[in-house]
Amino acid sequence: MAMNKPLAHSPKQGVPAQTYFEHITNVHRRAVQNARNAAVFYTGDSDSFVSWVEAAAVYHDLGKLDSANQEVLQKNTREGLTIAHEDAGVAELEKLGRNEALVLAYGHHSGLFSVKEDALENQGRPFRQLKRKTPNGELVADHVDRELKNYEQIHAAAGCSALDRIEPSLLHHDGFARRIALSCLVDADHGDTARNYCNEVEIPEIQPRWKERLEALQRYVDRLPQGHTDPERNRNQMRKRLFEACRDAWLDPRIRTCDAPVGTGKTTAVMAHLLKVAAERQLRHIIVVLPYTNIVTQSVNVYREALILEGERPEDVVAEHHHRADFADIELRQLSTLWKAPITVTTAVQFFETLGSHHPARLRKLHELPGSVVFVDEMHAAIPSHLWPQMWRWLESWTRDWGGHLVLASGSLPRFWKLDEYKELMSSDDQVSMPEIPDLVLDDSLRNELKQTEEKRINYVRRAEDAAALDCKGVVDFVQEKPGPRLLIVNTVQTAAVIAQAIRQSGYDVLHLSTALAPVHRDLIVQRVKERLKHKVQDWTLVATSCVEAGMDFSFCTGFRERSSTASLIQIGGRVSRGDEFKNPEVWDILLRDDKFRGNPAITISRQALDRFTVDELNIRHPAGLATDAMKREWTSGAEEKARQLIQHEDAMEYPSVSKECRVIDSETCTIIVDKSLAEVIEKGKKVSRFELMNYSVQIWTNKIEKLRLKPLAACDRYETGLFFWPYEYDPDFLGYMQGVLKLEEFIAAGGAII
């Protein structure tokens, strides 16, 4: 073996092997640049931060120089390395006193550590490989200690830089800074590997041009129609006043709110503020966070129409980041969305789970967050209430220490930071007092006018207290007797599909919209809904899941919401008589029960909080007050215990536990391709764009994969990072993958089995 040119990556599919020198040099350069770009906004010790990343980059792959590993790397094979290669980098960095860097090298594949498992209980040799063995039965750590000087000599002979020893220091407790540092390293490492195998291309930097985009947005708003009736003209005039108020709002403090009600133009108004902040403070990115994927698409379309300048490709400037696409497999890394565009519109799941993640693939994009402005719209639906205290700590640290700017918006904005129950845990410096968070709109007359638009617009209704929950036939009959167009929102994909199918089989006109449909097919259904509403088609029903309860520009005559959270019930009100166009519009809070329906255990606490509100309270109190009070009630119904445990794990540096507890949706999902031709392309190892992947795939719970006997595509062999193909019936016009699920259930009920 020619050890004068050791390898970092083996030859594969016609791509020659990559030398160790080339990989280390590239990763070193890119990681340091990532760290410097982030450190520009860091108020802490920026030199130390960059040095952590640099040291880890220099030695992260040192263990690949082991002779056994080099034998594997010479082959065109998917065979794993013989010796766990992270351990050599850890050993070398420990020797050099670079403790903060060694945890980055340790985690560049496996993720951030658990103090209990990886340090305190590691027999006095923290972060070393004491459970894995070589083929000869020797502990990897012992083998590495014996070979370390040999690795150092080969590393130097290959032309790679070396670092001096420093006085070692204890690990710091700033988990947010540690995640950003790992992100700088992982992006450089994963990116260079993917580019070596032609799975990624260099992404050209797009200039933000914030001031020009603000001018373009102003022109877009000025062109909006004035309306044909007095109510329309008044509402459009109010939208322009909101736009101007947000555009001209103060830049400080760095955390702001916007509680303007539905239909008042928050999408463009808050963007005006974001653009002004980004221009004045020379920030890097604008990130818009939304709760549901279909709202992402809707907002992306508006922003691309309003903000794109001449000669630009819309997708380069406004990036659309749907469901999980943070694949760790080398073959799939090109599908990751990395928040590098000037403006990224992403989901709450992506954004908030990234903040708390310990996993390298998910953290890869986090280093783009320093020096960025974030807009969390429909924040009432963003995350479960128990996650807010720890999320607030991270967001406060980001705005204070990393140049961030945050806007939280919702027509039913829960001001949980004012609640004593939350204050104690949300403060990261042992001070119970919380800073005042002003709204972007400080004009009292405008605020009062905005508030008046919501008063008496709809009426919340419940069936008699002694009325039983509705079964499938009961809900079909109950919904159909109310005036249309009708919107029914339920808690699970299966319940939506069962009811939609039953309505159609009863001879009624119905559309169905849920995540059982791939994004490209959901978009088509959304367009059909808008066309029907535009042309005032009345006698029909849309059955949907929560993906349409917030942010969608729909307006129905009657709404029905399966009992869920208080905020969810309030939000469906924003899809009913949105412009006061219907007489006596109602929103029904209903209970459902049928063997064919499925419950959602994740909403148990929030549902209990809604149970305690009377109908009179729902109709009289302001939405923001209801939402805030609901969070207070959720706190005493079980949220407090979860919140405290999450904070304790973060403070104790138990990062895998934090990552698990930070799931916005408390269950893992897998990406399932529903388009056969696309699956075949991936099977052949050919590249596909992330847009194709997102548009023609759905997410299904990981625990359902085995039950449905789904098999990963040949190129992807692990549940957590792989892609699957949907082999059963898929209906792009109505039920999506639930068409196949319902037929399978009928088949199994009749005695069949999936083999």
Mean pLDDT, rounded, for 630-637: 83
How confident is the model over 600-622, as pLDDT tens digits? 877 888 888 888 888 888 888 88
Question: For position 755, what pLDDT does the model report?
Answer: 45
Domain boundaries along the sequence of the chain: 7-196, 210-451, 456-620, 669-749
- Could you tell me which residues come within 8 angstroms of residue 79 by beta carbon, excluding any fewer than 6 positions away? 72
Question: Do 693 and 713 contact (CB within 8 A), yes or no?
Answer: no
Question: Do 450 and 265 contact (CB within 8 A), yes or no?
Answer: no
Where is pLDDT greater, at 19 or 603? 19
Least confident of 121-125, 531-535, 629-633: 121-125
**Residue 18, burial from CB neighbour count under 10 angstroms (0-12, 13-18, 19+):** buried
pLDDT > 80? residue 489: yes
Question: Do 701 and 669 contact (CB within 8 A), yes or no?
Answer: yes
Question: For position 36, what pLDDT does the model report?
Answer: 98
Question: For position 407, what pLDDT does the model report?
Answer: 98
pLDDT > 80? residue 289: yes
Q: How far is CA 626 from CA 64, 333, 455, 499, 604, in A?
A: 58, 43, 14, 30, 18
Residue pointed to by tokens 């066309």: 531
Q: How confident is the model at residue 363 (pLDDT cuts 50, 70, 90)?
A: very high
Question: Do 371 and 283 contact (CB within 8 A), yes or no?
Answer: yes
Q: How far is CA 316 from CA 99, 114, 233, 298, 321, in A?
A: 39, 38, 35, 17, 12
> Averaging pLDDT over each range in 403-407, 409-413, 611-615, which range is the top one?
403-407
Mean pLDDT, rounded, for 153-167: 93
- DSSP count for the chain of H helices, then E strands: 30, 17
CA distance linking residue 621 with residue 414, whole number of Å: 13
Mean pLDDT, rounded, for 168-188: 95
Question: For position 3, what pLDDT does the model report?
Answer: 55
φ and ψ of 330, to 5 deg: -55, -40
Residue 377, CB half-sphere, CA atoms under 13 Å: how many? 27
pLDDT > 80? residue 405: yes
> Averaging pLDDT over each range in 119-123, 425-429, 462-466, which range is the top one?
462-466
Residue pointed to by tokens 């700590």: 393
Show the 3-state SS of 440-469.
CCCCHHHHHHHHHHHCCCCEEEECCCCCCC
Question: For position 691, what pLDDT does the model report?
Answer: 74
pLDDT > 70? residue 639: yes
Mean pLDDT, rounded, for 427-445: 74
Question: What is the percentage of the chain residues whose pLDDT exceeds 90?
Answer: 58
pLDDT > 80? residue 32: yes
Where is pLDDT greater, at 367 or 420? 367
Strand partners, 723: 671
- 133: three-class secondary structure by DSSP: strand
CA distance linking residue 696 with residue 310, whole number of Å: 30
Q: How confident is the model at residue 232 (pLDDT cuts 50, 70, 90)?
A: low
Structure tokens belonging to residue 235: 């509402």
pLDDT > 60? residue 217: yes
pLDDT > 90? residue 490: yes
How confident is the model over 640-665, as pLDDT tens digits? 899 999 999 999 999 999 999 998 87
| Fold matches, 210-451 and 456-620 | yes
CA distance linking residue 689 with residue 685, whole number of Å: 13
DSSP letter at 7?
A: E
Least confident of 80-94, 183-197, 660-674: 660-674
pLDDT > 60? residue 565: yes
Least confident of 455-459, 469-473, 703-707: 455-459
Question: What is the percentage of the chain residues whose pLDDT exceeds 70?
Answer: 91
How confident is the model over 670-702, as pLDDT tens digits? 889 999 999 888 888 777 777 788 889 998 888
Tell me which fold the domain 456-620 belongs to: Rossmann fold (3.40.50)
Question: For position 600, what pLDDT does the model report?
Answer: 82
Q: How confident is the model at residue 227 (pLDDT cuts 50, 70, 90)?
A: low
- How many CB atoms sit inside 10 A of residue 624's CB? 20
How confident is the model over 290-322, as pLDDT tens digits? 987 778 888 999 999 999 999 999 988 998 886
Structure tokens belonging to residue 663: 């799931």
How confident is the model over 233-245, as pLDDT tens digits? 777 788 899 999 9
Question: For position 307, what pLDDT does the model report?
Answer: 97
Mean pLDDT, rounded, for 508-536: 94
CA distance linking residue 732 with residue 516, whole number of Å: 9
What's the CA dihedral at 528, 530, 532, 538 to 10 degrees? 130
Strand partners, 696: none
Whole-number average pLDDT of the chain: 88
Stated pTM of the model = 0.86
Tell me which fold the domain 210-451 belongs to: Rossmann fold (3.40.50)
pLDDT > 60? residue 720: no
pLDDT > 70? residue 625: yes
